[in-house]
Every structure is written in C-alpha cells, then in structure tokens.
Structure 1
Amino acid sequence: MHSKLLDYPKKFFAFYRMTITSFNELVKLIGPTIAKEDTNLRLSIPVEERLSVTIRYLATGASFNTLSFDYYLMGASTIRDITKTTCEQIWNILQPLYMPIKQHGDWIKIADEFYSRTNFPNIIGAIDGKHIRIIQPEHSEPSYFNYKKFFSCVLMAWTDADYKLWNG
C-alpha cells in the first residue's frame, strides 16, 4: 500500500475511491482470510498490500500489467491471483452482512414499506439502470455503443423502499 497516502485523506480517497476508515475496516474484516504466511524462501505480501491491489483494480479498471508496472512492482499474474482471491473473500464476508438472503417476512416488510410510502400495493422493489462508460471491447462494433453515443455496459440495480441495494 502507498503508506504516504495515509497522510493525505483526500488523495487517498481519489486513489482508492474509498476513505481510509473504510479501507481499515475492510482490512479488519477480510484480513484474516487473505493473509498468507512467510516462508523460508520469501516474505508474504501483507494483507494491506493485497487489499490495496484489489481496490485499485476495482476503482480504476486498470489492467493487471498496468498495475504491475505503474504501481505495485509485482508480476501481473500475482496481481491477478491476489485480485481474484481478495474479491472472492470480500463477497464471502460482506454478502451475508450487507446483502442477506430475504426470508418471507422480509418480503412482506418491504411490500408494506413501499405501500406506506407510495400507496402502491404488492411492490417489493424498484429497479433502474445506468450506463457505465467503458473502453470499446475488441471486435464489438455496435454491441456496446449506446444511444448516448459512447461505449458502455448497463448496470441494473434493485432497491428496497429505503433505496438500499439488495439481492433477490
């Protein structure tokens, strides 16, 4: 991790797209699951560095080669492996906390909340989409070009009555 950034919260946020506090919380939550042990042959990559690589990748969409040369001085395949395992652990740990599977009573509560706010019965969610700008994928001539005249993929989101994202 770029420890110098810790002295500059605004620059840290611009670099990682998250606060230092949020980063440290993620370290506490997923650190034990992504930590590796040192061996006689080499020192392991610290948890903070593993999370740093992953968050930078997610924040920028930079290629593994770019991250390898520009920021981390690790092999691209190492960065790929770290990113894959760290993302899996982020999902495994955060999904039950922030996106638990809904039970029957949850659906009723959501429908009741929508009804009390909108006077529409039997509504269990609101859905909307957003075009996320991307670099044109190779050999995709019109596939990703949208009516707004740029290349994008569509992110669809489903929220409850409190505008919280959730899984169905």
Structure 2
Amino acid sequence: MAAQRHHLRVFRPRKDVFNEYNDTELISRYRLDSGGMRFVTDLVRNKLTSPTKRNMAIDADSKVAITLRYLATGKMQLCNGEDFGISQPSVSNVITETLNAFCKPQLIGRFMRMPINCRHQRHQRQFHAIGGFPGVVGVIDGTHVKIIAPTEHENEYVNRKNFHSLNVQVVLITTTESPT
C-alpha cells in the first residue's frame, strides 16, 4: 500500500491594490480611483464578507478589485489570479459572487429607474417589432471618439488603448408609434 501524502496548502501573498497603486494607476487598471473602489465595495460589503477568516478568506475589497480588474481589462482569470495571489478557480468564484451581489434588485434600484406605464409597454412593442427581442424598452451603447490632444489636461483624455478620445454614450428609446 502506497503511503498517502498530505500536501500542505500554499497561500501566496495577496496584493493590496490600495497601498500598491496611486489613484492615477488605479484608474488605468480598474477604471476607478480608490474612493470609487471603496464606494462600490461598501455597496456590496455585507454580501461579500466571509463569516470567518478560515483558509485565508478573500476580503470584500479584494473581491471587488479582482472583479473590476477583470471587467476593465478582459484579462484572463489565470493572469488575474497570479496578480492577486489566488488560484484561477478562486478568481472565477469571486467574479461570480461579486457580479451576483451587484445585480441584486435593491442595489440596482438605487441607481436605475424605469417608468412602468403605457409608454413602457409601447416601447416594448416597438423594440420587439424592430429587433424581435421581447421586453426591451431602450438600448445603450458607448464608444470612444478619437480627438486631437487638448492643450490642457491632456492626460485625462488618453484612453486605455493609448489614444486621445472622448467616451460617449448613446441611449435610444423609441419615439415613433408602433404599427397596429
């Protein structure tokens, strides 16, 4: 009979992004400064805080940072895990847990309101007629419009792809009457 070996778990050092990066570096990596990251974390802290520190539980600040880094860059989970000192499966679990916390109706309701009335139902019919998608009342999209570098605050207009741009968003809510 072969002797069973028990492997000791190896815990790598965890990254503390708030101490490692200044606000400019945080914005370039996470799309938020330290105040913004703490604000977002405080919104979901109760949902993300582990009841114990057993097995070096990942704290809420790190969970939000990992998720924001993933969303901001689309970087592979394995690379994010290496950056933060956790495994890829842990990164996957953290992202899922954090996004689920962000998607709670009470949290979404703090920032988004959609009117529910006959116009709402008409918009749903119109969008269904246009694209065949049921339940849609509006659409939103964004893009970066390339600009010539401004002379003042030039660095504030450099996007993540290293060219000067304005980040614009378009919201479309149908306004024409639907065919009867």
TM-score using structure 2 length = 0.55
Between the aligned partners of 2:67 and 2:109, the Cα distance in structure 1 is 20
Give matches, 1:11-22, under 5 Å.
11-22=25-36
Per-residue deviation, residues 59-90 of structure 1 (Å, max 9, x unmatched): 00011111112x11111000000001101111
Structure 2, unaligned runs of 5 or more:
1-15, 121-136, 145-168, 174-180
Which of residues 35, 60, 63 in structure 1 aligns to 2:49?
35
Q: Which amino acid aligns with 2:48?
A: I
**Structure with the greater alpha carbon radius of gyration:** 2
Q: Which amino acid aligns with 2:57?
A: S
- Does 2:61 match 1:48? yes
Structure 1, unaligned runs of 5 or more:
108-123, 132-155, 161-168
Identity in percent: 16
| Structure 2 partner of 1:75 | 87
- 4+ residue stretches of structure 1 with deviation over 3 A? 124-131, 156-160
Q: Does the Cα contact within 8 Å between 1:50 and 1:82 map onto a contact in 2? A: yes
Between the aligned partners of 1:50 and 1:126, the Cα distance in structure 2 is 29
Q: Which amino acid aligns with 1:18?
A: L
| Structure 2 partner of 1:120 | none
- Give aligned pairs, total: 120
Q: Do the aligned partners of residues 96 and 65 (structure 1) sit closer, same or farther apart at CA in structure 2, a change above 3 Å counting? A: same
Per-residue deviation, residues 1-39 of structure 1 (Å, max 9, x unmatched): 313245x21111111111222111111110111111225
TM-score using structure 1 length = 0.59
